[in-house]
Amino acid sequence: MASLKLENVSKSFDRVLALSGVNFHVEEGEFCVLLGPSGCGKSTLLEIVAGLIHQDEGTVYIDDRPIDDLSPRKRDVAMVFQNYALYPHMTVAQNLGFGLRMRHVSKEMIKKSVVETARLLGISELLDRMPKELSGGQKQRVAMGRALVRRPKIFLLDEPLSNLDARLRVNVRLELKKLHKQIQTTILYVTHDQVEAMTLGDKVIVMREGKIHQIDRPEIIYNEPADTFVATFIGSPVINLFKGTVLKKKGRFILETQDFTLDADEHDLNVGNKELEIGLRPEDIKVGLEDDGGLKATVEMVTNVGSEKYVHTRIGSTSLTARVEKETSITTGGVVSLGIDTSKLHLFDGGKRI
């Protein structure tokens, strides 16, 4: 395994800026996830690390050594694509061993490596099958095995689970996490799926339009988003976001919105009478009976997702979504009380966290 560092990497395609001054560092053995919407530059970045395309500016380092002049073959990285890219005329065993054969590894060593990798991935019984005889999950394991078999310094995975159905994606995601713990290798993983990023990554890099918005552990990114883009991109249902003005009344700070007022004295808001954006996660809103006290809201819709319910409410012109337990009985059109944990408010000025 190895460390990976990108320093001021930029890339343009004609007049389209794909990456702009990207900087980050992945430690040895770390599972790092590049997360962002389609077109944000994450796959381009992965291909630059692999050597498939070259950046216009900046430097890529592996173990603190620049690799920009090295061919993909000499970088000792392995890439797994979302379309599997298996050779249809070869068996699983032949697919797994192909890279080693191209490197003129002995037949005995190839066989040993293939058997060991197949055992590690739970595909030993598939070695004699052809790709057309495999399910989507099995094909994905073979694709990962083909990269794993030669033990590269770094694994590059480009949305490897996107072609799987939802249930299988969960299973393979768990297997991938277990696999990383077993082999302790460095992984750079690309996805647009926030659940994959939050469950797999030791470190998550959130990107948008070729730029990095935040780098941190998954729990920090969720609990302390750097800006409104990260706050709204991470979390389901999406964070409630509305505007409020900071005021000081009777020596206490409050946030006055168009439709209600929130006590905010526990936050350091000595910014004058300024309008801020206020973020509130659905799980930080307690839904009670109309006469329980708190903010009175009308229930517009209740979404039942099985393990829990999402209650979509409205106070004047402000929409607020709360997450409640599945047993909670709430009627559409009724009035409920919303208890807001003001210590959990996320406050943004000009889109940036304060």
Q: Give residue-wise pLDDT tens across range 169-202.
A: 888 788 888 888 888 899 999 999 999 999 999 9
Instruction: Show Cβ contacts of residue 85 under 8 Å, excluding neighbours closer than 6 positions.
Output: 143
Task: Give residue 214's Cα distance to chain centre.
Answer: 11
pLDDT at 271: 66
Interatomic CA distance for residues 93 and 146, integer angstroms: 9
The CATH architecture annotation of domain 240-353 reads: Beta Barrel (2.40)
Tokens 């399910």 correspond to 135
Extents of the domains making up the chain: 4-233, 240-353
Query: pTM (2 decimals)?
Result: 0.89
Q: Are 164 and 106 in contact (CB under 8 A)?
A: no
How large is the average pLDDT for residues 253-266?
A: 89
Q: Does the pLDDT of residue 230 top 80, yes or no? A: yes
Q: For strand 240-249 and strand 16-26, is the pairing parallel, antiparallel, or unpaired?
A: unpaired
Instruction: Show Cβ contacts of residue 133 under 8 Å, excluding neighbours closer than 6 positions.
Output: none
Q: How many helices (H) and strands (E) does the chain have?
A: 8, 21
Percent of the chain with pLDDT over 90: 69
User: For the segment 332-345, what is each residue's pLDDT rounded down to a tens digit?
Assistant: 999 999 999 889 99
pLDDT at 55: 97
Which two structure tokens, joined as six digits, stand for 174? 């768990």
Interatomic CA distance for residues 195 and 170, integer angstroms: 10
Which two structure tokens, joined as six digits, stand for 197? 């990023």
pLDDT at 265: 78
pLDDT at 40: 95
Quote the DSSP letter at residue 191: E
Q: Does domain 4-233 have CATH number 1.10.3720.10?
A: no
Q: Which amino acid is at 47?
A: E
Question: b vs e for 46-55, b when ≥16 Cβ sit within 10 Å of the residue's Cβ?
Answer: bbbbbbeeeb
Q: Are 158 and 46 in contact (CB under 8 A)?
A: yes
Going 168 to 171 to 177 to 179, the CA torsion angle's sign is: negative
How large is the average pLDDT for residues 9-30?
A: 96
